[in-house]
Structure 1
Amino acid sequence: MSTPMMPRQTGMPGAGLGRQQPQGGLGQDGGPATQPRHVATATDTGMIPVFGRNDEADQESPHPRRPGFGLRGPRHLRHRVALDELAAVGVPLGDDGVVIGTDAQKQPAVLGLSRRTAYDVLLIGGLWTAQVLALRAAGTGARVAVETGRAHVWTSLVRAAGAEQQCITMHDVGQVPSLGPSSSSPVIIIRDCGMKPPRGRVTSAPWQSVVTLLPYLSPAAPRLLQTSSLVGIQRVSPDEAAHLSRTMRLPREETETLSTLGDGVTLWCTRKDRYYSLTTPTDAEAGLLGTARRLD
């Protein structure tokens, strides 16, 4: 424990600390005067030394004092974990993004939509999945802009998400303004522009991803398939599955499966990787959007 600091002396040197008696004189009780243990002088620093401490022993101590330990109060053991016990206290962390459902192993299927590079996603599927994606993306803190020509099917969702907070905004086709995306405020644009969506006024950019919804394959599909970084495919006809198989290099088994997928099941694929996800609505989503469905 450090030596307490005394306030600096004022007035006459030695005031309040006792006065030195002449050597051999008498004290106030008539007895022999004793030399005070500390007498203030003009050069006094204001520190009162503590007698009886073994300073050399403190310096030679193999365990130097550490701030925060050894203070007055109850003694507690330090929190220590052996190296082989770290796994028991570890917290599992998954990917950062939008949880779109569960995969074949019942693990969360995550779409990383907020990226430092431009990112385009094509969803060949139903409106229900696109709306669930919009709600969950807004739940991660992203700003969602919906570009649509059928505002009536999005109005209730925008209101439920919080129209005053504008976490989900709705715009006419070709009327999406510049939204100023950044790492602290990413933007996701969902384009629901029918079978032949025009080229967007606002395109993908760093921290701004674009998700284009196509109900079925259309003349615009080849261009979108070529430029998209990720493609989501829901139930399609056998002819559409054959076309997608050639473009996305799908094996025969998965090509035959595309025409039999259940509601809420999506095959997410790139040219190299692919996995299935099952989107199950929460109670709030089911109350707002209903159950999963492929057809609008």
Structure 2
Amino acid sequence: MSSSRIAYSQRGDAGVAPEFLVSPAMLDVVSPSGDRGGMVLGSGMKGEPLTISVLRSAPTRVVMVGGLYLARQVALRAMATGASVVIATGRPAAWQMLVRAAGQLPDGRPVPLVQIRRLSPVELPRPTEDSPLLVVHDEGHLPHDLFPPRSPWQTTLYVLPYLHPNATATANAADLVLLQRMPVGQAQLAARVWRLPPPMMQQLTTLKDDGVVALGHNLWRPLRLITTKKEQEILGPVRRGD
């Protein structure tokens, strides 16, 4: 089965993520894998895998409007590529399963692949092509810009439980937006923010629990989440909420 890459860019060349080496146990969690660093996010209308380049050779912003399940899945798949993941959150217990999924070193300490931090400015690991960085900013519907991506190979994922009128600047600055099902009022706001025609606005209100729309510059791509059995053992069943 062929795979399609979701290409997106608002600042020129999107760049392509490299391949990374991680433990077989971690790789075994996520299957099928994307091509050359691409992250399989879901499947298209014909069942073909769709990949996105979340980790790129350019500072990248991704905004997700929806539940924690999708945010955790993106973080888990970034871990499987060998990326470092820093999660800034006010609800650390909600992310502990990713620390457990990363495994332990021979001396019993957690593998330092995932760090859970408070919602305050901190020094971040320096991202490189061989060691990219995903920062998950889980602050709620009005995030402060504490960890803007400033260098190549850093991606900041803003996790918004819903779209707020005062968060439109954050949403508009994104290179990629991932949208889950919305109530009518939220879909109407999304239509105003991104100038969506009525059929697209309506589609946002009818997505299933495993439905996502990838939105970007000249991009509107509905897809269905692909979740493996081992991912479900870590994250639980696919769901729209938290």
Give the TM bin, normalised by the shorter chain. 0.7 to 0.9
Pairs within 5 Å for 1:138-153: 138-153=79-94
* Among 45, 49, 55, the residue aligned to 1:114: 55
Counterpart contact for 1:123–1:231, Cα < 8 Å: yes
How far does the alpha carbon of each residue in 1:132-168 deviate from its partner, in whole angstroms, 9 at most, with x for none?
1111111011111111110011112212222522212
Separation in 2, partners of 1:244, 1:190:
22
Q: Distance in 2 between the 1:188 and 1:252 partners? A: 34
Q: Distance in 1 between matches of 2:203 and 2:157?
A: 24
When residues 202 and 228 of structure 1 are mapped into structure 2, their CA distance, relative to the original with a 3 A threshold, is: closer
189, 192, 195: which one pairs with 1:246? 192
Partner AA of 2:125 in structure 1: L
Unpaired runs of at least 5, structure 1: 1-92
Query: What is aligned with 2:221?
Result: 275
Could you tell me which of 121, 132, 147 is aligned with 1:186? Answer: 132
Pairwise CA RMSD: 1.7
Superposition map of 1:98-177 within 5 A: 98-162=39-103, 164-177=110-123
The 2-side partners of 1:108 and 1:205 are apart by 29
Q: Distance in 2 between matches of 1:235 and 1:245?
A: 13
1:207 — aligned with what? 153
Report the secondary structure of 2:126's partner residue. Answer: coil
**Whole-Å Cα distance in 1 between the matches of residues 171 and 99 of structure 2?**
28
Superposed displacement of residue 94, structure 1: 4.3
Equivalent pair of 2:142/2:166 in contact (CA under 8 Å): yes
**Matching residue of 1:218:** 164
TM superposition shift of 1:185: 0.7
1:226-245 matched pairs, under 5 angstroms: 226-245=172-191
User: Contact (CA 8 Å) 2:211, 2:224: kept in 1 or not?
Assistant: yes
Taking the aligned partners of 1:280 and 1:238, their CA distance within structure 2 comes to: 26
State the distance in 1 between where 2:204 and 2:69 align.
18
SS at match of 1:293: coil
Instruction: Give the TM-score, by structure 2 length.
Output: 0.79
Cα deviation, 1:244-295, whole Å, max 9, x if unaligned, reads 1122232221210111111121100113111012113211111121111111
Runs (5+) with no aligned partner, structure 2? 1-33, 105-109
Q: 1:274 to 1:150 in 2, by over 3 A?
A: same
> Which entry has the higher C-alpha Rg, 1 or 2?
1
When you count strand as a share of all residues, which structure comes out higher? Answer: 2
1:148–1:191 Cα contact (<8 Å) kept: yes
Aligned with 1:285 (options 231, 234, 237) = 231
Counterparts of 1:162 and 1:220, CA distance in 2:
39
Look up the SS of the partner of 2:205 in the other structure: helix
- Relative to the length of structure 1, the TM-score reads 0.65
Structure with larger RCO (C-alpha < 8 A, sep 6+): 2
Report the Cα offset of residue 215 of structure 1. Answer: 0.5
Paired residue type of 1:145: V
Distance (Å, rounded) in 1 between the aligned partners of 2:136 and 2:166? 16
Q: CA deviation at 1:219?
A: 4.0
Kindly provide the amino acid, as one letter, of the partner of residue 237 in structure 1. P
1:100 to 1:131, Cα distance in 2 relative to 1, 3 A: same
> 1:196·1:219 contact (CA, 8 Å) conserved in 2?
no
